[in-house]
A and B are shown apart, each in its own frame.
Chain A
Amino acid sequence: MADTYTNPLRRRLPDGLIPENEVARTEDRWFAIMLSMLGVMMVIIVATSALGALHPPSNVETIDPTTLHLGGEFAESNLGTAAEPDGSVTVRMIAEQYSFVPACVRVPVDTPVKFRITSADVIHGFLLPATNVNTMIVPGYVAEVGTTFSRTGMYEMPCDEFCSYGHHGMWGRVEVLPRDQFPDLNPVERTSCEKQ
């Protein structure tokens, strides 16, 4: 067996006491097994990502961070949760040294939620533990990440990227409400978790 196997890629390699063919064959076999293992993983990633439209947040969109408050999408009157005609909701937020604005937003459960966040100054991060919501917030760009919450409750929202000396104090919150409670909220109640 060992003598009849000749790998065309390994011709003219030196021969030794253990037939080089034998070594080459073992190596090739191991290489093939490893390649197929990685192949299986890649197939799983591609299939699930296609079926569930799973992607890392990758919306490339630029914005001027110095004039956010003067008007446009991220003016303070426009921040927070907004209901879209198709039933989904969009949450607009600013991350700044060292707060999320608003510091707490409310969204309905089992509803597509799209977070659109931008930074007013430096790099921040946005992470909702126990979900896959996680994006960097780079000044000059609008980060966009979508998900659907399947569980109600209060989600902590720490800044997960170093943004200078106050970084550890930068925590916000997202409260996921039952679907039927959400429409009753007025716009102010949607962007504040204080008891009304």
Chain B
Amino acid sequence: MRQLGSLRSDNPWPIIAWGAAAAVIVVAGALGFGFLDRFQQGGPTLSVWNAICRGLGITADIGPASEPQPPLRTPTRIAWTGATHDRIAAGNPKRGELVAANCTACHGNQGISQAGIYPTLAGMDAAVIYKQLDDFRSGHRSWGAMSAIGQALSLEDSADVAAYFARQSGGLPATTGDRMPASGRSLREADPAQRLVFAGDPRHSVPPCSACHGPGGYKLGTPALQGQQVNYIEEQLVAFAQGLRQNDISEQMRIIARGLTPDDMHAVAVFYGVPTGVPRAGGLALR
């Protein structure tokens, strides 16, 4: 602080420095807030007051589209809010086991499916099961008996049964994010399935499946696919591509499936899936 007090003639720097700093800030502030911000792309020139607000980031021109809105279509009722997480986390697997007794006829003992059209549920993320059940309940997803079953289940039932299946082993592996690096997991890979799964197809807006479905990647609301039924995976991809299934949030899977050819879909399904009736060794169908 000694320096600050010394405004003697042998140290002109405090005056120079404070003066220069003040000048720079005043000029920059006046230009940035009072002048430049008045001009906007495709809009009228703003008053100085509005320009200052815009400069600060307080904008007034917020509002929905001015043209007539198309009728609202929502893919699902579920949103990944804290409340949803809490409800799923509150699921009681013991109670879920009782509810799940109704499921095993199709989805197999402990949720390990033996039939190609029914997905394996054992080890599936509880959030995924919960969301799909709610979509069946609300009609955002429809498939045969599942719509009726969904409507018969309460929210609590859904959370419980989701918790039960999520804890069953021998089905789908948990995605932990851990994975040793391995060769052949880039766009150079010749095998189309391996390439799609690990590198995607950027030209057709297809990201790598593994980034969300594993191995190695995970995304909220996304099922792990290793060990799922081949037919089921392929069928769902076709349904997403053709718009028969539309319950994916923000068109996530519809966009991707539209970029896949039928051959791609089959290759990916075979890569991930376990053909029906093949016994699983050690619980994990890892490649």
In the complex, A touching B (Cβ < 8 A):
yes
Chain B contact surface mostly = loop
Specify which chain B residues have a CB less than 8 angstroms from the CB of A158 in the assembled complex.
Answer: 202
A165 touching B249 by the CB < 8 A rule?
Answer: no
- With an 8 A cutoff between CB atoms, is B206 at the interface? yes
B252 touching A83 by the CB < 8 A rule?
Answer: no
Contact with B along A80-105 (1 / 0, CB 8 A): 00111100101010101111111110
Specify which chain B residues have a CB less than 8 angstroms from the CB of A88 in the assembled complex.
Answer: 42
Specify which chain B residues have a CB less than 8 angstroms from the CB of A72 in the assembled complex.
Answer: 64
A50 touching B36 by the CB < 8 A rule?
Answer: yes
- With an 8 A cutoff between CB atoms, is A24 at the interface? no
B250's contact among A59, A94, A171, by CB below 8 Å, is which? A94
Known pairs A169-B208, A170-B207; A77 contacts B73 (CB<8 A): yes
B255 touching A102 by the CB < 8 A rule?
Answer: yes
Binds A, one of B75-83, B105-113, B119-127, B161-169: B75-83
Across the A-B interface, the 5 shortest Cβ-Cβ residue pairs: A169-B207, A166-B211, A169-B200, A60-B57, A98-B207
CB distance from A151 to the nearest CB of B (A): 18
B1-41 at interface with A (beta carbon < 8 Å): 9-10, 12, 16, 31, 35-37, 39-41
A168 touching B79 by the CB < 8 A rule?
Answer: no
- Specify which of B37, B40, B58, B211 lies most central, judged by the most chain A CB atoms within 10 Å of its CB: B211
B205 touching A99 by the CB < 8 A rule?
Answer: yes
B73-116 at interface with A (beta carbon < 8 Å): 73-77, 79-81
The chain B residues found within 8 Å of chain A, CB to CB, are 9-10, 12, 16, 31, 35-37, 39-43, 54, 57-59, 62, 64-67, 69-77, 79-81, 187, 199-203, 205-208, 210-212, 216-217, 219, 249-252, 255-256, 258-259
Binds B, one of A15-23, A63-71, A176-184: A63-71
Specify which chain B residues have a CB less than 8 angstroms from the CB of A170 in the assembled complex.
Answer: 202, 205, 207
B36's contact among A9, A49, A85, A94, by CB below 8 Å, is which? A49
Known pairs A83-B67, A146-B41, A171-B203; A98 contacts B31 (CB<8 A): no
Chain A residue nearest to B65 in the complex (CB): A82
B9 touching A11 by the CB < 8 A rule?
Answer: yes
B211 touching A98 by the CB < 8 A rule?
Answer: yes
B42 touching A146 by the CB < 8 A rule?
Answer: yes
A59's contact among B59, B187, B203, by CB below 8 Å, is which? B59
- With an 8 A cutoff between CB atoms, is A125 at the interface? no
CA distance A100 to B201 in the complex (A): 14
- With an 8 A cutoff between CB atoms, is A134 at the interface? no
CB distance from A187 to the nearest CB of B (A): 7
The chain A residues found within 8 Å of chain B, CB to CB, are 8-9, 11-12, 46, 49-51, 53-55, 58-61, 66-73, 75-78, 82-85, 88, 90, 92, 94, 96-104, 112, 114, 120-121, 146-148, 158, 164-166, 168-173, 187, 194
A165's contact among B217, B250, B256, by CB below 8 Å, is which? B217
CB distance from A22 to the nearest CB of B (A): 20
Chain B residue nearest to A84 in the complex (CB): B66
Known pairs A53-B39, A60-B59; A85 contacts B66 (CB<8 A): yes
CB distance from A109 to the nearest CB of B (A): 15
Specify which chain A residues have a CB less than 8 angstroms from the CB of B69 in the assembled complex.
Answer: 78
Specify which chain B residues have a CB less than 8 angstroms from the CB of A53 in the assembled complex.
Answer: 39-41, 43
Specify which chain B residues have a CB less than 8 angstroms from the CB of A12 in the assembled complex.
Answer: 9-10
Specify which chain B residues have a CB less than 8 angstroms from the CB of A96 in the assembled complex.
Answer: 250, 252
Specify which chain B residues have a CB less than 8 angstroms from the CB of A11 in the assembled complex.
Answer: 9-10, 12
